[in-house]
């Protein structure tokens, strides 16, 4: 990991091999004949993230019940949130990618960015413990303007599309990957033959919300003249 990224996340690794592994996509490892890539750290980071967010929300919102806390947690650990945070940190430019992933836009792919952030959190946890991982999460994500907004992107998109086109957008599962215990789903939302957005998630519902969020971002983006 470069020193500038360590400055951004506020943590300096004692074991640099962990940071390199966290930013190594499996396509690069396979291409170079290496064994280490970031999927194991992603697995660990996913659990660390869930525990950290649950702990922080429990402490910061003593007045809220389980249902409200669960909604906050779901929003903060969603793939779209993780990808947005990773993009803000500039993780994409530090990734080690195989030639194929590099040529197809892997550095900006939300699923790769989200996975890399989880892997990096897992690496920090292994290297520095729970407190170091908590500090990184608060510095890089929760203190970076990431406020909880209870938003149903699918409903917002449906309302927008129906108002303008009088039809309902459709969601299609385009890919399922990963082992049974850790599947990842890729979904696209379409309007007729036009793809409005794409998204990934640990569940189909999460992937659909991510696709709807992507579609809203695209539709609200100013068109080039």
Alpha-carbon distance 195 to 73, whole Å? 29
Maximum distance among all Cα pairs of the chain, rounded to whole angstroms: 57
Q: Of 21, 39, 42, 46, which residue is the catalytic one?
A: 46
Q: Which one of the listed residues 118, 127, 188, 208 is annotated catalytic?
A: 118
Q: How many Cβ atoms are within 10 Å of 57's Cβ, its own excluded?
A: 18
Q: Are strands 184-191 and 170-177 parallel, antiparallel or unpaired?
A: antiparallel
- Residue 64 bears catalytic tag: no
Using CA atoms in the order 198, 202, 205, 206, what is the torsion angle rounded to 10 degrees? -60
C-alpha distance from residue 161 to each of 24, 142, 150, 185, 224 (Å):
39, 32, 20, 24, 21
Nearest to 192 by CA among 211, 221, 167: 167
Our answer to whether residue 46 is catalytic in this structure is: yes
Which residues are known catalytic residues? Answer: 46, 118
């Amino acid at each position: 990991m470069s020193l500038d990224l360590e400055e951004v996340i506020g943590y300096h690794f004692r074991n640099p091999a962990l940071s390199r592994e966290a930013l190594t996509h499996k396509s690069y490892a396979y291409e170079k004949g290496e064994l280490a890539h970031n999927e194991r750290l992603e697995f660990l980071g996913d659990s660390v993230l869930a525990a950290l967010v649950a702990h922080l929300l429990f402490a910061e919102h003593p007045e809220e019940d389980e249902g409200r806390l669960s909604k906050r947690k779901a929003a903060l650990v969603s793939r779209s949130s993780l990808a947005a945070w990773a993009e803000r940190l500039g993780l994409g430019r530090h990734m080690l990618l195989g030639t194929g992933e590099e040529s197809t836009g892997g550095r900006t792919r939300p699923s790769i960015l989200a996975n890399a952030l989880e892997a990096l959190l897992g690496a920090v946890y292994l290297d520095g413990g729970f407190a170091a991982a908590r500090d990184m999460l608060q510095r890089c994500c929760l203190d970076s303007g990431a406020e909880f907004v209870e938003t149903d992107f699918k409903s917002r998109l449906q309302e927008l599309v129906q108002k303008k086109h009088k039809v309902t957008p459709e969601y299609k599962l385009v890919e399922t990957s990963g082992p049974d215990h850790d599947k990842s789903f890729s979904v696209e939302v379409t309007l007729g033959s036009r793809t409005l957005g794409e998204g990934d998630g640990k569940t189909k519902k999460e992937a659909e919300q991510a696709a709807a969020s992507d579609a809203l971002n695209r539709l609200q983006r100013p068109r080039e003249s």
